[in-house]
Structure 1
Amino acid sequence: MKPRIAVLGCGYWGGNHIRTLKSLGALHAVSDVDPARAERFATEQGCLALTPDELFARSEIDAVVMALPPQFHADFAVRAVEAGKDVLVEKPIALTVPDAERAVKAARDNGRVFMTGHVLRFHPAFEGLKALVDRGELGEVGYIHSHRLGLGKFHAENDALWDLAPHDLSMILAITGTAPIEVRGEGAAVLNHLSDFAHLHMRFPNGLRGHLFASRLNPYRERRLTVVGTKGMAVFDDVEPLERKLALYRHAVWQDEGQWTSTMNEPTYIELENAMPLTRELEHFIHCIQTREEPRTGADEALGVLRILTAGTVTHD
């Protein structure tokens, strides 16, 4: 049987969860601090509309997807797991590491699945990129950089780093397989006291370096993750159409009489499955509920991302 899942938070991204869970046959209820908003989704999708208190009290609800402002995630996640429900918490899972650790500990103490909504980990292009790395087609990875730039989404609580960087950090951690030993952040606040531009520089135990640039005041969209290895380079460009989202560059670099030289090769575009990342993410959540497996984007990754965000945050007066 499919688990009965409720969505807490009926905003833009919560609405995407609601519609996708309905298509998967797992939507049982919706909830929001605005009862009218919940009622609209319930009527549209043919499910229950509940207050948050009712949601946690209903024993037939197996799991909760939380798409709330992040300052509310930890407290509601604790309530959910103590009520015996598995949880998928959208990113970031909290605004402080202690709050995140409190939610994770509660989930573990109560034997509940705890998953984080790092949806790009389920993108076919990232899965293809990770496969290239795992098969050794890029050689030894020495450098990873990501650019996530655009215009808008000026949140009252989140700056550009906290709003835009978690997805890229989750992908970087998946490739490196370890946390950085050094994190340095730089930020610039233009509109108010929150950073509209953010740079992160990371150093990992094996010498690998990582760089992340996020901006919400950019005139063009860029969604690009680049991995540089000794045998080749690969780029996941989410602005490109599906057939060009994952490019493999078999560039050669070597020393000739003491001088470094290189040859440029045209990219090979990797064929990808045409699948929606959110659908794949929620299918994985359902699978983990049914099997009790540790999620691909579980608690350890969520805490790792939050620690990097905290270490790289720049405050402004």
Structure 2
Amino acid sequence: MKPRIAVLGCGYWGSNHIRTLKSLGVLAAVSDANPARAEGFASEQDCRAIAPEDLFGDDGIDAVVMALPPQFHAEYAIKIVRAGKDVLVEKPIALTVPDAQRAVDAAHETGRVLMVGHVLRFHPAFEKLKSLIDDGELGTVRYIHSHRLGLGKFHTENDALWDLAPHDLSMILAITGSAPVEVRGEGAALLDHLSDFAHLHMRFANGLRSHLFTSRLNPYRERRLTVVGTRAMAVFDDVEPWGRKLAVYRHAVWQDSGQWAFTTNEPSYVDVKEGMPLTRELEHFIDCIATRGQPRTSGEEAIDVLRILTAGTVWHD
């Protein structure tokens, strides 16, 4: 039997969840603090509209996808799992590590699935990149850098780091398999007290280093993750068309008579089967509900992401 899933929060990203869950045949209800908005989606998608305060006790709902402002994530996730329902929480899981830990602990105590919406972990190009790394195609990974730049969106609570970096941090942690031992952040606020530009520099116990650059005041759009290994380099560029989203560069660098020499090679583009990351993410959530399995993007990993964000935050007056 398919699970009956409700979406709590019918804003921009919540509407994407609504339409995708409907296409998967599991959308049972929608809920929003604005009743008219919920009723509009309910009419459009032929499902029920439920007031948020009535959602938790509704026996016709098995699980909830939550797309609220992040300051409400932990509180409502705890209410949902204590009501006996599984939950997918959009990123970030919370605004503080203690709040996130309380949500994760509540899910463990109640035996419910808690998954976090780090959607790029389900991008076919990233999945293929991860398999290349695991198979040793790049050699030993020594450096990872990620750039996520563009114009907007502008939030009153989230800066460029907290809004844009969680996706990339989740991918970096999936590659490294461990949290960094050192995090250093730099930020710049131009519009108000929230950073519009942010850099994170990370060092891992095995010597691997990584940096991440995010901006919401950039004249062009960039969505690029680069992995530098001892055998090859790879670039996941989500701005490129499908046939060019994942490129492998087999450059060579060596020492000759005490001097460094190198050769460059044209990239080889890796064949990646097209697929919508959000659809694949929600399919994974549905599978975890059915099997009671551990989500790929678990609450524990989301806490590691939150610790990095907290350590790298630069506050502005």
TM-score clears 0.5: yes
Amino acid at match of 2:236: F
Identity fraction in percent: 78
Query: Following TM superposition, by how much is the alpha carbon of 1:111 offset from its aligned partner in structure 2, in angstroms?
Result: 0.4
- TM-score with structure 2 length normalisation? 0.99
Query: Following TM superposition, by how much is the alpha carbon of 1:6 offset from its aligned partner in structure 2, in angstroms?
Result: 0.4
1:124-153 CA distance string (max 9 Å, x none): 010011011000000000000000000011
Paired residue for 2:81? 81
In 2, Cα distance between the equivalents of 1:269 and 1:22?
34
Give the secondary-structure state (helix, strand or coil) at the position aligned to 1:57: coil
Paired residue for 1:235? 235
Contact 2:184 2:201 in 1 (8 A): yes
In 2, Cα distance between the equivalents of 1:85 and 1:68?
17
Query: Following TM superposition, by how much is the alpha carbon of 1:300 offset from its aligned partner in structure 2, in angstroms?
Result: 1.3
Paired residue for 1:54? 54
Paired residue for 2:224? 224
Is 1:127 paired with 2:127? yes
Contact 2:129 2:246 in 1 (8 A): yes
Amino acid at match of 2:198: A
Query: Following TM superposition, by how much is the alpha carbon of 1:19 offset from its aligned partner in structure 2, in angstroms?
Result: 0.3
Amino acid at match of 1:75: E
Amino acid at match of 1:80: I
Aligned pairs for 1:1-317 (under 5 A) are: 1-317=1-317
Amino acid at match of 1:53: E
Amino acid at match of 1:114: L
In 1, Cα distance between the equivalents of 2:299 and 2:74?
12
Amino acid at match of 1:158: N
Amino acid at match of 2:79: R
Q: Name the count of aligned residue pairs.
A: 317
In 2, Cα distance between the equivalents of 1:51 and 1:172?
38
Query: Following TM superposition, by how much is the alpha carbon of 1:259 offset from its aligned partner in structure 2, in angstroms?
Result: 1.2
1:143-202 CA distance string (max 9 Å, x none): 000000000111000000000000000000000000000000000000000000000000
Amino acid at match of 2:287: H
Contact 2:150 2:218 in 1 (8 A): yes
In 2, Cα distance between the equivalents of 1:105 and 1:293?
16
Give the secondary-structure state (helix, strand or coil) at the position aligned to 1:162: helix
Amino acid at match of 2:260: W
Contact 2:93 2:299 in 1 (8 A): no
In 2, Cα distance between the equivalents of 1:292 and 1:253?
47
In 2, Cα distance between the equivalents of 1:59 and 1:147?
44
In 1, Cα distance between the equivalents of 2:274 and 2:219?
29
In 1, Cα distance between the equivalents of 2:210 and 2:147?
11
- TM-score with structure 1 length normalisation? 0.99
> Structure 2, unaligned stretches of length 5 or more?
none
Amino acid at match of 1:4: R
Give the secondary-structure state (helix, strand or coil) at the position aligned to 2:29: strand
In 2, Cα distance between the equivalents of 1:261 and 1:62?
60
Cα RMSD over matched residues?
0.5
Amino acid at match of 2:136: G
1:226-254 CA distance string (max 9 Å, x none): 00000000000000001000000111111
Query: Following TM superposition, by how much is the alpha carbon of 1:60 offset from its aligned partner in structure 2, in angstroms?
Result: 2.3
